[in-house]
Amino acid sequence: MPSVDIAVVGAGPAGASAAIAAAQAGARVALIDEGIRLGGQFFRQPARPFNSQASDALRNHFRRGRQLLEQLDHPKIEVFTGATVWNLDPKRRLQLYGSHGRLEVRAHCIILATGATERSAAFPGWTLPGVMTAGAAQSLLKGHGLVPGGRVIVAGSGPLLLAVARQLLDHGAHVTDVVEATPLRRWVKHGVHMRRAASQLWEGVEHLQRLKRAGVGLHHGMAATRALGSLQVSGVEIDRVDERWRPEPGSTRQLAADVLCVSYGLIPSTELSRLAGCGHRFDTSLGAWVVGTDTNLETSQHGIYAAGETRGVGGAEAALAEGRLAGLLAAASLGLWGAGHASAVAEARAEQARLRAQTEAVLGLFCVQPGLADLATDETPVCRCEGVTAGAIRLAAREGARQLNSLKAWNRCGMGPCQGRTCGPIAAQIIASETGAHLEAAGCFTARPPIRPVPLSALAETATPHPTGTAMEDHAGYGRVVTGRR
């Protein structure tokens, strides 16, 4: 069992900056990510150069990410790529699985920078080929230079919609419409708070102007309520919604489409922190659970820290500052406190607080509304793994299943390979809508190892020796990777 000073789980903006800060402070760091290419959703580098096809904005984005990731080529940082962390216990033991088999890592401190997953919505036709999350479309673009073919509609709520629609448009996609559930009148009401997020607001205005010049239809206060088609998407029904996102009768319109990209914001990934027994709190702005920390970013479990989206969605800039702060504080807890450490911590704290305040202003505008649960008819599948419909969840709620874990006994909802990562938030909204209780009362599914599907042999075999190699070797499963030269 290899032992390190600090293990960082997740190599997005928060995890990468945490690893760099901790290593620069003198800590021996293991940086673990299940992706083959580091950087997370935001800074992941493309599989191949885009050449002249990439927009200037995306080129600058890749360049900035590359500058961050090149700093991981540090003698005190061991990078594990393609490594799925499937278990974590309160004694700070991590169990990994990758192409080199099973490995256990023990750390004096752990920093969880596991990011977030996208919130989708269940509505008739959402399982048709051609329906994907906005983040999935963005991943295809950033990772492989691919854009969806045919007519593309981007729908849901949140700042990601405009960003993804513009990125797709700039790279040749035929984006026809953007459907935003949050009505314009809410923008007006929330305007005074948005002053704190002037940079994000201006970025959104630039996206809007680009989309308008391209003739993209912009629909505010409307939601995609049905994907049309038999074998694949051929159109989308959109309805006007009230401020609670409940569809208004008689307002249905049909739009032609071949692809529907849906996103209702992000949900922090908390499976590992729940598995380790860390305390959590319910974030009403997100409508989701986030890992709780003290002012030093330490969770209720001693030696386990959290940074970035797992503490609450804050965006890449906040994640960078927060990751740096977590790396410095974790290193300090091990006695690694050198010259300039105090000023670096103070600077990171100030930057983190400023950026978090900006994000809270944005999140307040796009709060998840209870009407999202009304988009699913009783026949709509919610838990794809187990084939559980919205009607089955509503029936279970009426019969006494008031929490997500109770659904497992009624209809096996959340017991598939994904352990409820997709269906859990949707089922919780349906329970809350059916019972009239607050969304928080529905709780969350209990996290159990393995939190990701792994071969049965991974649960039984003994730990494999720690692989060795030079800095230029790429083990694809485990080992040192010079990320800046991948």
Query: Does residue 432 share a domain with residue 389?
Result: yes
Distance of alpha carbon 243 from alpha carbon 411, whole angstroms? 32
pLDDT of 195 reads: 61
Note whether 346 and 357 are within 8 A (CB). Answer: no
Query: Does residue 257 share a domain with residue 166?
Result: yes
Query: Does residue 260 share a domain with residue 125?
Result: yes
pLDDT of 480 reads: 40
Q: Is residue 78 part of a domain?
A: yes
Query: Does residue 259 share a domain with residue 271?
Result: no
Query: Does residue 184 share a domain with residue 228?
Result: yes
Structural domains of the chain, count: 3
Q: Is residue 456 part of a domain?
A: no
Helix (H) or strand (E) holding 31: strand 29-32
Instruction: Give the tokens for residue 288.
Output: 């989701």
Residue bearing tokens 């393995």: 450
Residue bearing tokens 């890749």: 62
For residue 208, give the CATH number of its domain: 3.50.50.60
Distance of alpha carbon 381 from alpha carbon 415, whole angstroms? 15
Bridge partners of 118, per DSSP, are 266
* Domain end among 200, 231, 264: 264
Strand order in the sheet with 235-240: 222-228, 235-240, 253-256
Q: Is residue 285 part of a domain?
A: yes
Query: Does residue 223 share a domain with residue 188?
Result: yes
Query: Does residue 220 share a domain with residue 143?
Result: yes
User: Which one, of 56, 319, 266, lies nearest residue 167 by Cα?
Assistant: 56
Query: Does residue 124 share a domain with residue 259?
Result: yes
Query: Does residue 334 share a domain with residue 396?
Result: no
Q: For every one of its 486 residues, what pLDDT tens digit does the chain have, with 9 covering 90 and above?
A: 578 999 999 999 999 999 999 999 999 999 999 998 899 988 888 877 765 566 777 888 888 999 999 999 999 999 999 999 999 988 899 999 987 788 999 999 999 999 999 999 999 999 999 999 999 999 999 888 899 999 999 999 998 999 999 999 999 999 999 999 998 887 766 665 566 666 677 778 889 999 999 999 999 999 999 999 999 999 999 999 998 999 999 999 999 999 999 999 999 999 999 999 999 999 988 899 999 999 999 999 999 999 999 999 988 999 999 999 999 999 999 999 877 889 999 999 999 998 888 887 777 788 899 999 999 999 999 999 999 999 999 999 999 999 999 999 999 999 998 889 999 999 999 999 999 999 999 999 999 899 988 888 888 764 444 443 333 233 334 444 333 332
CA 66, distance to chain mean position in Å, is 21
* Domain end among 264, 293, 309: 264
Query: Does residue 343 share a domain with residue 284?
Result: yes
Q: Is residue 469 part of a domain?
A: no
Give me the chain's average pLDDT, please: 89
pLDDT of 475 reads: 34
Identify the domain containing residue 385 by its residue range.
Answer: 370-442
Distance of alpha carbon 179 from alpha carbon 174, whole angstroms? 15
pLDDT of 366 reads: 87
Helix axes 404-411, 423-435, angle to 10 degrees: 100
Q: Is residue 451 part of a domain?
A: no
pLDDT of 272 reads: 95
For residue 437, give the CATH number of its domain: 1.10.10.1100
Distance of alpha carbon 64 from alpha carbon 299, whole angstroms? 30
Note whether 334 and 28 are within 8 A (CB). Answer: no
Q: Work out the angle at residue 382's Cα, subtended by the Cα atoms of residues 381 and 383, and round it to the nearest 5 degrees.
A: 105
Q: Is residue 486 part of a domain?
A: no
Query: Does residue 130 share a domain with residue 243?
Result: yes
Helix axes 13-24, 56-70, angle to 10 degrees: 30
* Domain end among 363, 396, 416: 363
Query: Does residue 127 share a domain with residue 110?
Result: no
Catalogue the E-assigned strands of 123-209.
131-133, 151-156, 174-180
Q: Is residue 190 part of a domain?
A: yes
Q: Is residue 464 part of a domain?
A: no
Note whether 38 and 142 are within 8 A (CB). Answer: no
